[in-house]
């Protein structure tokens, strides 16, 4: 073969080596695609074998309302306050009852009288229909009833506070899962894009159109995207567990959520939300009813210094036998006399000297009244400040949604153009990787902005009520 032998063997070695390297890179790329992901642990619920339940935000809120201990406790407090109001109202009405008593006294065997002075016979029967009416200043001015009514309104406001707080928590968890699902799709598409770019660089390297450094860059990018994909899958499971804890009595992940991020609630004008806050803010209502209770406590303390009249009326019989008539043992000559009759007892109680105790109670009630007024003023200012801050947050989030939507569209178009330029040899691998990362960041930022706006609206509604 002469002097050409070294050249022929050298060329053959280069071709074989290049084929070996290309084969190795191809195997590496295949390994990137077929490498199994991490197997996450999931709770097995009783309904895992059935089709998943579709949950809307409204469904999630309804399910969570019966499971949240704070909300249930506040609702029970409101029911208890309702019963207190009924009892206070009934205390203002006349009280009727039946009183039946039988006295059996030891006799002496010679007379029909008993041994005790208070009993006029061995056997005494008492059957009365009783009537009782309290005519104190507190009852005449309905102080106790008005205070119970204020306590019920206070309890209702606390229920609303608990409900609106739960709404924010469930909204965050609900849209955290929706965002995690969208980010999972983005991560999956980014991983596919990175693997396609790896395949392109490997093919171009085999054809001598791209350096080996592009393949390495593509492999690094594919590895990073694979890790991001695993993290996105983990984020879905974490978000699903967080929501399942809030809405299911038993931990169950067999459900899907309705992603309505693309149909957000419209944001009213600030004047409208300010009017709603002045009418329906539960924090202000709590402060108002607390101040009202303190006013009534002062009135009740002052009423305790006034005279109290109590009327007790009884009608029926009190005789030595049961019947409409009887012959009294003390006056048998009178013959049968009627047994039915009535008695009226009117008691007037007037405090004269209690060494200043009642006056001291008035002072205590007035101290609490002053504190309640200060708290009301503070709550009004704080609520107004929170209203401005929360509305500004929602408004900025809404603007961010519009801007980031356009940014995501631009990032998608930029990635498409950079890929075309790279395949035409007019762009570098660094530009492709940068376009991929920018596309992923833009998509995720857009989804985060939509969720931020939803949560911002929910937070605003804790101040204003639903709109």
For residue 398, what are the CA distances in angstroms to 126, 152, 172, 259?
A: 79, 38, 16, 18
pLDDT of residue 175: 96
Which of 5-9, 44-48, 58-62, 216-220 comes out lowest in average pLDDT? 5-9
Tell me: the pLDDT tens digits for 5-37?
333 333 333 333 333 333 333 333 443 444 555
Q: Is the pLDDT of residue 53 over 70?
A: yes
d(CA 306, CA 303): 5
pLDDT of residue 113: 56
pLDDT of residue 6: 38
Q: Is the pLDDT of residue 208 over 60?
A: yes
* Domain spans in the chain, listed from the N-terminal domain onward: 94-141+308-349
Which residues are paired to 345 by β-bridges? 312
pLDDT of residue 117: 55
pLDDT of residue 21: 33
CA angle 383, 389, 392 (to 5 degrees): 135
- Mean pLDDT, rounded, for 360-381: 95
Tell me: the pLDDT tens digits for 156-178?
999 999 999 999 999 999 999 99
Annotate 353-412 with DSSP letters as a single string.
Answer: --TTHHHHHHHHHHHHHHHHHHHHHHHHHHHHHHHHHHHHHHHHHHHHHHHHHHHHHHHH
Tell me the pTM: 0.76
Residue among 290, 268, 220 at smallest CA distance from 430: 220
What phi-psi label fits residue 348: left (phi over 0), alpha (psi between -120 and 50 degrees) or beta?
beta
pLDDT of residue 48: 57
- Mean pLDDT, rounded, for 353-369: 93
Residue 78 vs residue 110, higher pLDDT: 78
Tell me: the pLDDT tens digits for 263-313?
888 999 999 999 999 898 999 999 999 999 999 999 999 999 999 889 889
What token pair was written down for 29? 């790329």
- Mean pLDDT, rounded, for 348-356: 89
d(CA 104, CA 107): 9
Q: Is the pLDDT of residue 42 over 80?
A: no
Q: Helix or strand or coil: residue 319?
A: strand
pLDDT of residue 339: 81
Q: Is the pLDDT of residue 334 over 60?
A: yes
Tell me: the pLDDT tens digits for 407-441?
999 999 999 999 999 998 899 999 999 999 999 99
Which residues are paired to 101 by β-bridges? 126
* Residue owning tokens 């407090």: 77
Q: Is the pLDDT of residue 50 over 90?
A: no
Dihedral pair phi/psi, residue 283, rounded to 5°: -65, -45
Q: Any idea which fold 94-141+308-349 has?
A: Outer membrane efflux proteins (OEP) (2.20.200)
d(CA 150, CA 144): 10
Tell me: the pLDDT tens digits for 228-262?
999 999 999 999 999 999 999 988 888 999 999 99
> 256 and 262 in contact (C-beta within 8 Å)?
no
pLDDT of residue 45: 57
Tell me: the pLDDT tens digits for 80-139?
999 999 999 998 889 899 988 887 776 665 655 555 556 667 778 888 889 888 888 888
d(CA 343, CA 118): 17
- Mean pLDDT, rounded, for 338-356: 88
Residue-wise over 267-282: b if at least 16 C-beta within 10 A, else e? bbeeeebbebbeebbb
Task: For the chain, give the mean pLDDT.
Answer: 86
Dihedral pair phi/psi, residue 110, rounded to 5°: -115, -30
Alpha helices in 43-142 (DSSP H): 57-65, 69-91, 137-140
Residue among 215, 200, 197 at smallest CA distance from 21: 215
pLDDT of residue 115: 53
pLDDT of residue 338: 83
Residue among 9, 442, 455 at smallest CA distance from 189: 442
């Amino acid at each position: 073969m002469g002097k050409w032998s070294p050249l022929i063997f050298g060329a053959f070695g280069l071709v074989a080596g290049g084929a070996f390297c290309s084969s190795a890179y191809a195997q590496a790329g295949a390994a990137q695609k077929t490498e199994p992901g991490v197997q996450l642990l999931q709770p097995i619920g009783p309904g895992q074998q059935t089709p998943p339940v579709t949950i809307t935000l409204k469904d999630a809120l309804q399910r969570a309302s019966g499971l949240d201990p704070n909300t249930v406790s506040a609702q029970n407090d409101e029911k208890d306050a309702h019963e207190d109001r009924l009892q206070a109202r009934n205390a203002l009405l006349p009280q009727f009852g039946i009183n039946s008593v039988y006295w059996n006294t030891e006799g002496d065997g010679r007379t029909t009288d008993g041994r005790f002075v208070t009993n006029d016979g061995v056997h005494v029967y008492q059957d009365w229909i009783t009537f009782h009416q309290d005519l104190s200043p507190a009852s005449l001015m309905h102080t106790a009833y008005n205070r119970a009514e204020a306590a019920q309104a206070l309890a209702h406001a606390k229920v609303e506070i608990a409900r609106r707080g739960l709404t924010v928590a469930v909204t965050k968890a609900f849209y955290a899962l929706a965002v995690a699902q969208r980010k999972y799709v983005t991560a999956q598409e980014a991983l596919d894009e990175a693997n396609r770019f790896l395949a392109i660089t490997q093919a171009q390297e085999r054809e001598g159109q791209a350096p080996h450094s592009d393949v390495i860059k593509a492999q690094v990018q594919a590895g990073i995207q694979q890790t991001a994909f695993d993290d996105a899958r983990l984020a879905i499971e974490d978000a699903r567990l967080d929501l399942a804890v809030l809405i299911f009595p038993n931990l169950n992940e067999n459900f899907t959520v309705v992603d309505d991020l693309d149909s957000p609630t419209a944001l009213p004008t600030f004047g409208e939300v300010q009017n709603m806050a002045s009418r329906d803010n539960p924090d202000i209502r709590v402060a108002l009813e607390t101040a009202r209770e303190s006013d009534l406590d002062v009135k009740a303390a002052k009423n305790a210094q006034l005279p109290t009249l109590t009327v007790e009326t009884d009608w029926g019989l009190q005789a030595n036998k049961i019947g409409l008539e009887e012959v009294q043992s003390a006056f048998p000559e009178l013959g049968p006399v009627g047994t039915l009759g009535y008695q009226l007892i009117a008691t007037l109680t007037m405090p004269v000297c209690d060494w200043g105790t009642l006056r001291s109670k008035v002072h205590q009630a007035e101290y609490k009244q002053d504190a309640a007024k200060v708290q009301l003023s503070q709550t009004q200012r704080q609520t107004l400040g929170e209203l401005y801050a929360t509305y500004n947050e929602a408004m900025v989030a809404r603007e961010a949604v519009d801007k980031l939507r356009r940014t995501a569209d631009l990032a998608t178009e930029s990635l498409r153009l950079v890929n075309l330029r790279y395949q035409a040899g007019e762009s570098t691998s660094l530009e492709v990787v940068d376009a991929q990362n920018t596309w992923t960041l833009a998509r995720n930022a857009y989804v985060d902005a939509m969720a931020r706006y939803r949560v911002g609206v929910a937070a605003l509604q804790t101040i204003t009520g639903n709109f």
